[in-house]
């Protein structure tokens, strides 16, 4: 069989063979997340029909309430991870607290998973790509006992794997481990993710910058100066550049990873701590981007070095092509 048709399962098992003493737990976890994402994909693809279906008494054919898609996505992920055998507990952007699975099998599992079930969900109404983001840590507490908050509050540098699913013109799952970053496209007739983007490398330079220009006046002076620089680049210094910002981090960062560029969500006067969440958005994308050769910074250090103090904390982020982020830091570093 040609490599380009390798399924996600086949690929993770092949990678397992390269890790002495590997148990297959991570492969199972990725398969579980892949399964949840296929279910989410089915619902996302009929998002425009939800209202029509909902009109029939706001209950679906099973007599259940028609739920918002982000609730649906959240529940699917919790369901597969709880029923699987590789996850001791989860933390979701949609939930206030961690969920400890606390049964015999789960307590023996060495991983915890954090996720943003449906990022960019305000874009659903207008059919712009949205996504699921996940981050996997190895537990630091004793196996055999229930996991605790300590297992979750680890710096991003301790991630074992991280990834995302983009529900776009095709559906793709991209995940990173220390062995590299690989992308799989969902082949709808067989319902499998197939390796389509092996060994993704984020180009060291790019021509696209991604920032919400509407908040320009809310950014601090360094950020404003850097945006001015990007807007005024001429042919002589690698310009002119293109600006793209969808309002869907997964879509913007998927493009940045493949084509190169920089994505920024700086501090604003409305969001003085930043808007994007460290544990569900910035850490996983920081890990994926750095494993692909790019860079992820907060303006006061590496994203992956931040020691989290709370589950839902936010951070500013400057992420993407190495050279662009380095140039950016010379304007925005504090
Ligand atoms: P969400 O998790 O509520 O969907 O918010 C995160 C999203 C990102 O995907 C996107 O980059 C950002 O919010 C856009 O925010 P803004 O509309 O303030 O530019
Ligand atoms: Mg989000």
Which of 265, 280, 315 most suits a substitution to test ligand 1, by most atoms within 8 Å of the C-beta?
Answer: 265
Residue that is written with structure tokens 């892949």 in the block = 34
Q: Is the CB of 132 under 6 A from ligand 1?
A: no
| Cβ burial, residue 180 (10 Å; 0-12/13-18/19+) | middle
**Percent over 90 (pLDDT), the chain:** 82
Alpha-helical (H) ranges within the chain are 8-16, 25-45, 50-54, 69-83, 104-108, 149-152, 221-231, 249-259, 283-291, 322-332
Neighbours of 234 (CB within 10 A): 8
Q: Is the CB of 282 under 6 A from ligand 1?
A: no
pLDDT tens digit sequence for 155-202:
999 999 999 999 999 999 999 999 999 999 999 999 999 999 999 999
CA of 265 relative to ligand 2 center, distance in Å: 12
- Whole-angstrom Cα distance, residue 324 to residue 334? 17
Q: Closest ligand 1 atom to the C-alpha of 121?
A: 4
- Whole-angstrom Cα distance, residue 146 to residue 278? 24
Q: Is the CB of 116 under 6 A from ligand 1?
A: yes
120 is in an annotated binding site: yes
170 is in an annotated binding site: no
Q: How confident is the model at residue 57 (pLDDT cuts 50, 70, 90)?
A: very low
Domains, the chain, ranges and CATH?
A: 8-197 (3.30.540.10), 208-332 (3.40.190.80)
> Is a pLDDT exceeding 60 seen at residue 58?
no
Q: Is the CB of 212 under 6 A from ligand 1?
A: yes
Cis bond before residue 240 (omega within 30° of 0):
yes
Q: Is the CB of 254 under 6 A from ligand 1?
A: no
pLDDT tens digit sequence for 104-145:
999 999 999 999 999 998 888 888 999 999 999 999 999 999
Which of 95, 128, 247, 263 most suits a substitution to test ligand 1, by most atoms within 8 Å of the C-beta?
Answer: 247
Under 8 Å CB-to-CB from 18, ≥6 apart: which residues? 179
So what's the pLDDT on residue 252?
98
Neighbours of 127 (CB within 10 A): 10
**Is the ipTM above a cut-off of 0.90?**
yes
Q: Is the CB of 151 under 6 A from ligand 1?
A: no
What is the crossing angle of helices 322-332 and 221-231, to 10°? 140
275 is in an annotated binding site: yes
* Mean pLDDT of the chain, nearest integer: 92
- Cα 123 to the chain's mean position, in Å? 16
What values do phi and psi take at 92, rounded to 5? -125, 145
CA of 53 relative to ligand 1 center, distance in Å: 27
CB of 76 closer than 8 Å to CB of 39: yes
122 is in an annotated binding site: yes
CA of 15 relative to ligand 1 center, distance in Å: 34
Q: Is the CB of 290 under 6 A from ligand 1?
A: no
Does residue 61 or residue 154 have the better pLDDT? 154
Q: Closest ligand 1 atom to the C-alpha of 280?
A: 2
119 is in an annotated binding site: yes
Q: Is the CB of 69 under 6 A from ligand 1?
A: no
Which of 93, 243, 249 most suits a substitution to test ligand 1, by most atoms within 8 Å of the C-beta?
Answer: 249
Q: Closest ligand 1 atom to the C-alpha of 131?
A: 9
CA of 281 relative to ligand 2 center, distance in Å: 6
pLDDT tens digit sequence for 258-309:
999 999 999 999 999 999 999 999 999 999 999 999 999 999 999 999 999 9
């Amino acid at each position: 069989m040609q490599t380009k048709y390798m399924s996600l399962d086949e690929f993770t098992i092949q990678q397992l063979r390269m890790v002495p003493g590997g148990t297959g737990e991570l492969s199972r976890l990725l398969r579980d997340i892949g399964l949840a994402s296929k279910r989410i994909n089915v619902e996302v693809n009929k998002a425009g029909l939800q209202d029509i279906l909902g009109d029939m008494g706001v209950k679906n054919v099973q007599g259940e309430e028609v739920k918002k898609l982000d609730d649906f996505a959240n529940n699917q992920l919790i369901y597969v991870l709880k029923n699987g055998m590789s996850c001791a507990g989860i933390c979701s952007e949609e939930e206030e607290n961690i969920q400890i699975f606390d049964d015999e099998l789960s307590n023996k599992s060495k991983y915890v998973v954090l996720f943003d079930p449906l990022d960019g969900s305000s874009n659903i109404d207008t059919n712009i790509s949205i996504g699921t983001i996940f981050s996997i840590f190895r537990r630091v507490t004793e196996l055999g006992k229930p996991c605790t908050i300590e297992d979750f509050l680890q710096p991003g540098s301790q991630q074992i794997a991280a990834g995302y699913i983009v529900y776009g013109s095709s559906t793709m799952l991209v995940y990173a481990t220390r062995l590299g970053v690989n992308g799989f496209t969902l082949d709808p007739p067989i319902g499998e993710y197939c390796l389509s983007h092996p060994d993704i490398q984020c180009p060291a330079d790019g021509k696209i910058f991604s920032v919400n220009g509407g908040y320009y006046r809310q950014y601090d002076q360094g950020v404003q100066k850097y945006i001015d620089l990007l807007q005024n680049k001429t042919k002589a210094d690698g310009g002119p550049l293109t600006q793209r910002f969808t309002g869907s981090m997964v879509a913007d960062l998927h493009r940045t990873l493949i084509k190169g560029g920089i994505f920024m969500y700086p501090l604003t006067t409305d969001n003085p701590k930043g808007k994007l969440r460290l544990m569900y958005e910035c850490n996983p994308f920081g890990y994926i981007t750095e494993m692909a050769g790019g860079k992820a910074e907060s303006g006061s250090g590496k994203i992956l070095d931040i020691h989290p103090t709370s589950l839902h904390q936010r951070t500013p982020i400057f992420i993407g092509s190495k050279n662009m982020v380095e140039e950016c830091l010379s304007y925005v570093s504090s």
